[in-house]
């Protein structure tokens, strides 16, 4: 049994070939910064932040559609807070049009909109449903509730993404990655089995990691030792299993189907999202076909940052034109965005 001190010592004094490790989960990016992990690692081990912050990968066309719906009389946009300041294809965001007459409500759970919709049956409530496998069951539960309670005035504008397909896309398109920290929350739902074919195909190790400092260090230590081997190792067995949560998967499959969807900075990735099935299209606010992605600021390098091809600090706008108060791209908006966490934690490597 290796102790935490031995793990730290190994990772600090490592002097083998350079290793790029990508954490594909926004919560991991935030936890890595909060625990000061880059400062513990040898200069030969690099941590890269991937496309795992849901707000950061939501394409500009989605934000444009949300803004358009918000300006239609009778519509109420309901959203989590992070999405309020994300720019679309222009610098305009939801927060700004809220001041121009649009009605935008913030909630903490999709089910919070049920009483809102019941109280105002003459309005149409549109939920900005962004997220990964972790949040999709909550949207499925919302649809379940709408059907059961015969609520007619709620729709979803979806931008739901799935992790294995985008990781496969990164590997197939030259992202310089030697190992992945697999997303802990997503793996609770999907199980870690879904990463095994990718690990084998590209001979890249995956370590499913928790969110505490010692859990992250144990996973990093494990995958550094496995570089070059196509294996998935579960370092978060208290909540993650190989098969995942079957009940949540069944609920998702009842209402949603796999689809090709657009990612900010990456374009359309085959089979990497979920859309409502045709028989539930009455709950859809126009999510199909949102494939365009234009930058509000053309100098923004979010695409390269999300691919692991550039560190946030290498973007010419980082910390100058682009700050959390003046975000030029989605990666600076969310508290889980790589540019946001690098800037607010003074991270340089």
Residues that bind ligand SF4 (CB under 6 A): 300-302, 305, 312, 315, 317-318, 322, 328-329, 331-332, 339
* Rounded least distance, CB 157 to ligand SF4, Å: 23
Q: Shortest Cβ distance from residue 302 to ligand SF4 (Å)?
A: 4
Smaller CB separation from ligand SF4, 110 or 327: 327
Please report how close the Cβ of residue 53 comes to ligand SF4 at its closest, in angstroms.
11
Cβ proximity to ligand SF4: between 248 and 343 the closer is: 343
Cβ-based nearer residue to ligand SF4, 63 or 140: 63
Q: Which is nearer to ligand SF4, 285 or 301 (CB)?
A: 301
* Least distance (Å) between residue 30 CB and ligand SF4: 15
Whose Cβ is closer to ligand SF4: residue 191's or residue 265's?
265
Query: Smallest gap, in angstroms, from Cβ of residue 72 to ligand SF4?
Result: 29
Per-residue three-class SS string for the chain: CCCHHHHHHHHHHCCCCCEEEEECCHHHHHHHHHCCHHHHCCCCEEEEECCCCCCCCCCHHHHHHHHHHHCCCCEEEEECHHHHHCCCCCCCCHHHHHCCCCCEEECCCHHHHHHHHHHCCCCEEEEEEEECCCCHHHHHHHHHHHHHCCCCCEEEEEEEECHHHHHHHHHHCCCCCCEEEECHHHHHHHCCHHHHHHHHHHCCCEEECCCCHHHHHHHHHHHHHHCCCCCEEECCCCCCCCCCCHHHHHHHHHHEEEEEEEECCCEEEEEEEEEECHHHHHHECCCCCCCCCCCCCCCCCHHHHHCCCCCHHHCCCECCCEECCECCCHHHCCCCCHHHHHHHCCCCC
CB of 116 to ligand SF4, least distance (A): 32
Q: Point out the residue whose Cβ comes nearest to ligand SF4.
A: 329
- In the bound state with ligand SF4, the residue whose beta carbon lies nearer, of 213 and 319, is 319
């Amino acid at each position: 049994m290796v102790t935490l001190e031995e793990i730290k010592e190994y990772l600090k004094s490592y002097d083998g070939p350079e290793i790029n490790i990508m954490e594909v989960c926004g919560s991991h990016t935030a936890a890595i910064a909060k625990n000061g992990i880059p400062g513990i690692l040898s200069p030969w081990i690099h941590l890269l932040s991937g496309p795992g912050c849901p707000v950061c990968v939501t394409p500009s066309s989605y934000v444009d559609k949300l803004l358009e719906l918000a300006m239609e009389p009778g519509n109420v946009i309901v959203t989590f807070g992070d999405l309020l300041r994300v720019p679309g294809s222009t610098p305009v965001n939801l927060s700004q049009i809220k001041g121009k007459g649009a009605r935008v409500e913030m909630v903490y759970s999709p089910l919070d909109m049920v009483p809102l919709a019941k109280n105002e049956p003459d309005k149409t409530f549109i939920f900005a449903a962004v997220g990964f496998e972790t949040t999709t069951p909550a949207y499925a539960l919302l649809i379940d509730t709408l059907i059961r309670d015969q609520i007619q005035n709620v729709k979803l504008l979806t931008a739901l993404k799935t992790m294995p397909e985008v990781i496969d896309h990164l590997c197939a398109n030259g992202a310089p990655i030697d190992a992945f920290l697999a997303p802990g929350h997503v793996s609770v739902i999907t199980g870690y089995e879904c990463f095994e074919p990718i690990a084998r195909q590209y001979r890249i190790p995956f370590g499913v990691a928790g969110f505490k400092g010692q859990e992250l260090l144990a996973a990093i230590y494990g995958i550094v030792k496995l570089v070059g081997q196509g294996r998935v190792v579960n370092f978060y067995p208290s909540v993650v299993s190989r098969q995942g949560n079957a009940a949540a998967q069944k609920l998702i499959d009842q209402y949603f189907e796999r689809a090709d969807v657009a990612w900010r900075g990456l374009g359309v990735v085959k089979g990497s999202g979920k859309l409502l099935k045709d028989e539930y299209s009455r709950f859809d606010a126009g999510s199909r076909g949102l494939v365009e992605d234009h930058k509000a600021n053309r100098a923004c390098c979010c695409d390269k940052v999300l691919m692991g091809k550039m560190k946030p600090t290498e973007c010419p706008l980082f910390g100058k034109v682009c700050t959390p108060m003046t975000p030029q791209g989605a990666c600076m908006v969310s508290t889980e965005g790589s540019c946001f966490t690098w800037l607010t934690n003074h991270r340089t490597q």
